[in-house]
Structure 1
Amino acid sequence: MATSTLALCAGQTIAGGLDRSGQSTSAIFNEPGTASLSYGSVQPSVTGTDALGNSYDVAEDYQVTTLSYTGAFSDKLTYALIIDQPYGANVSYGNSPLTSVLGGTMADLSSDAATFVARYAITDRFSILGGVSIEGVQGNVSLNGLAYQTAIATSAVTSAFNSVLPNVLPDLTSTVLNAALAGSATAQAAIDTLYGPGTFASLAAQVGTAASTFVSTGGYKFAMQNDTSIGYLIGAAYEIPDIALRLAATYRFETEHSASTTENLLGITQNGTVDYVTPQSFNLDFQTGIAQNTLLTANFRWTDFSSVDVVPDLLGNDLVNLENARRFSLGIARRFSDSFAGSVSISYEPDTHSATVSPLGPTDGLYGLTIGGRYTHKNINITGGVNYTWLGDANAGVAGVPVASFNDNHVIGVGLKAEITF
């Protein structure tokens, strides 16, 4: 039971932010000569409505596959090669952008990574870890609908206005212009007083023109080509094999990327480059035997999504805009016979209490339950599991303004893992 039966892809592929695999390095603790293949299929149901009465069903099904192999250079030095898809997003608002606040908005992000991690046993209880990963990321984003039409048109007009403004005058903010467009007499008067009579009327006409152009040109489109970069990890572990106890900590440094991009906005097509990072993260994994044939497991993962900023040149705003993710899980595994063991685990991600979240990730926090079983025959292990996750309610917002509400959503995941030791 030294290897937890709770390492099921069904539960690992449902996490906060853009997390998909959880970036586990648990394969490094397998017996040398062990190869494994994990497959998870995830079926989210993320539905919501906007103030105009439009209904949305935005999350698309996806699959995650993980491959690993564990080997040894010597009795004290072992290694593992892990191939996974650490980050991803599949969100699509299928409604008409002419009659709904978010229709036509979508995000399709994919990634692949190969990680080589080595473990050196200082003693029979203490070991240190280190590794390097090669990570590729690519994505496409579209922003559309009435909410983005207004927000982007206002932002574009504000930026153009400020670019020709004399240095002696303060910049106009989108917040003030939005208030004026919403009918605030105070904001309208402030604009005309500061920048000259008739300025607000001129800006309002420009926003109307920009909004019409936004609609006729299909909204905002962003394509980011694949960029492959190298990242690093370090860690340490403490074990007492007699009671199947293990405490392992792994820290991954953020990985820097620079990708070629193409943007389409207001009839302008612009090629450029965007610099961003995939986040630093910390995994803490614990297990211990608590009775004969019974194992307790606990896991924690922190991901620094707040440091992930993707700001294209033409748009000038962050496309990611996510809070940090914290994931906790606790489980029990029980061996019922030499060939079969079962497990149950719960997972939790606290909500961020944010007034609004990105429409590209319109949930906040989660609770999950995973039930699994493991069959062993000689040198082969087959593990399967089912996960049901309750997703936290959230208000999707554009420019900090709530535009759609998402409530009572869930995810169903199934996973299968085959493991063989040669």
Structure 2
Amino acid sequence: MNSKTTSSVFIRKAVFRTFKYSSALSLAMLAHSVSASGLDLTGNPIDMIFAEKNEVRLRVARISPNISGEHDRAGFGETGDIGDTFITGTLGVKFDVADNWSFSLEGDRPYYGRVNYRNWAAGRFLGYFDSRSLTGLARYKFNKNWSVFGGARWIALRGELNSFGAKTHLAPSSEVGAVIGGAFEIPEMAIRVSLSYAEEQRHRLEADGSIVAPGEIAPITVSGATGILLPEQIRLDFQTPVSRSTLLFGGIRWSNWSDTDIWPGQDIDEGELSLVDFSDTAVATYSLGATQLITDSFALTGTIGYEEDNNNEVNFLNVLGGFVTYGVAATYIADNYKSTVALTYTPLDDKTGDFFGADLSYESNEIWALGFQLNYTF
């Protein structure tokens, strides 16, 4: 046999067919569950299109933020835990229609933010921002090494604000944006590099209700459109074997949040009444992981992620500093399915800023996430 034992038995059959038919990058997405001030849950991944066979994938995560701070203004003080535990998930399918053509369709919850200031003596403040999305992609292979893909992503947004007894409802809005990209791979060695771009989306949510600013008594009537700009994103992802049973994977995601400022109604200026203000901010998020095949039926994965601080002022939803995320996962592999359980821990950097004339500071906070993923091939 030789020639380095036939290239270590074709890199252990391309690291067991790239970790049994599905992209290892999906484990990083399962593990890293929060980004960009906690609003970006998934990073708009495109890895479903790279599944080696026809596949259905279900992913569910329980995310538990432990976030509290203190406001120096009289009548406020300690915020209590403002982060409520929530469940999120994705469901996708990928199928081949010809030797060179494949398609994928995936629904998820890409953006979510909720803060509940329930302990302030001045009253309760609740801010809520949610989304749903559906992404359809088509991929064409020029040959076994080069391919291009593209499609559309539909995103629907809605929100609600309860400020010290005054309520504002943001009516749902939906838009469609393009997704394009390309990839280079060496299938027999489980090597792949992909580059993708998702365009920005401009949403207009009709606001109706009223707002009370912290420390004020009189409500401000809110009506008209609320403009929300979801960021354009560029992703660079890779995977490569480092031994016959170890697969290294990771990526860099650049998100342009520069013009994203959520404030209800046209008659409210940008500023401290914003739910979140990312003005002049572009955020880079990094991830790196490795999967070790223990046997042909069991694998362990470790991941690490990093996101720089967005350097914007503290705001109702903008309460996270930068962070490093640590994740572990275990996977059981069967003939036509595999199941994965993942756990991540994210200690958050401290964040302090002026908020309505007094310091609002967040220190020693963290986020835990528990995820489950099921891949079924057919």
Q: CA deviation at 1:31?
A: 2.8
CA gap 1:338/1:277 in 2 versus in 1, 3 angstroms = same
1 CA distance for matches of 2:319 and 2:221?
29
Q: CA deviation at 1:397?
A: 3.5
1 CA distance for matches of 2:87 and 2:325?
18
C-alpha offsets along residues 208-255 of structure 1, whole Å, 9 cap, x if unaligned? xxxxxxxxxx45x43211111111111111101122111111110011
1 CA distance for matches of 2:119 and 2:285?
33
| Structure 2 partner of 1:223 | 169
| Structure 2 partner of 1:125 | 145
| Structure 2 partner of 1:88 | 112
**2:314 and 2:360 in contact (8 A); partners too:** no
1:332 partnered with 2:351 = no
Paired residues, what number?
A: 342
Query: How is 1:79-118 mapped onto 2 (pairs within 5 angstroms)?
Result: 79-98=103-122, 103-118=123-138
C-alpha offsets along residues 169-200 of structure 1, whole Å, 9 cap, x if unaligned? xxxxxxxxxxxxxxxxxxxxxxxxxxxxxxxx
1:346 partnered with 2:346 = no
Q: Which has the higher helix share?
A: 1
| Structure 2 partner of 1:11 | 31
**2:250 and 2:286 in contact (8 A); partners too:** yes
Comparing 301-310 with 81-90, which one deviates more in the overlay?
Answer: 301-310
| Structure 1 partner of 2:223 | 271
User: How big is the alpha-carbon RMSD for the aligned residues of Structure 1 and Structure 2?
Assistant: 1.9
| Structure 2 partner of 1:378 | 335
Q: Which has the higher strand share?
A: 2
C-alpha offsets along residues 284-329 of structure 1, whole Å, 9 cap, x if unaligned? 1111011111111111112112222334223222522023322101
User: TM-score with structure 2 length normalisation?
Assistant: 0.85
Q: Percent identity?
A: 27
1 CA distance for matches of 2:317 and 2:222?
23
**1:70 and 1:81 in contact (8 A); partners too:** yes
Give 2:104's aligned amino acid. A
1:56 partnered with 2:77 = no
Which ranges of structure 2 fall in alignment gaps of 5 or more residues? 1-14, 212-217
**2:32 and 2:305 in contact (8 A); partners too:** no
Query: How is 1:225-244 mapped onto 2 (pairs within 5 angstroms)?
Result: 225-244=171-190
Q: CA deviation at 1:256?
A: 2.0
1:412 partnered with 2:365 = no
CA gap 1:242/1:402 in 2 versus in 1, 3 angstroms = farther
Equivalent in 56, 66, 73 of residue 35 of structure 1 = 56
Higher-Rg structure is: 1
Which ranges of structure 1 fall in alignment gaps of 5 or more residues? 145-217
Structure 2 SS opposite 1:57:
coil
User: TM-score with structure 1 length normalisation?
Assistant: 0.77
Comparing 123-132 with 310-319, which one deviates more in the overlay?
Answer: 310-319
C-alpha offsets along residues 253-296 of structure 1, whole Å, 9 cap, x if unaligned? 01122222113144454432223321111111111011111111
Equivalent in 263, 266, 282 of residue 313 of structure 1 = 266
Query: How is 1:69-80 mapped onto 2 (pairs within 5 angstroms)?
Result: 69-80=93-104
| Structure 2 partner of 1:47 | 68
Structure 1 SS opposite 2:63:
strand
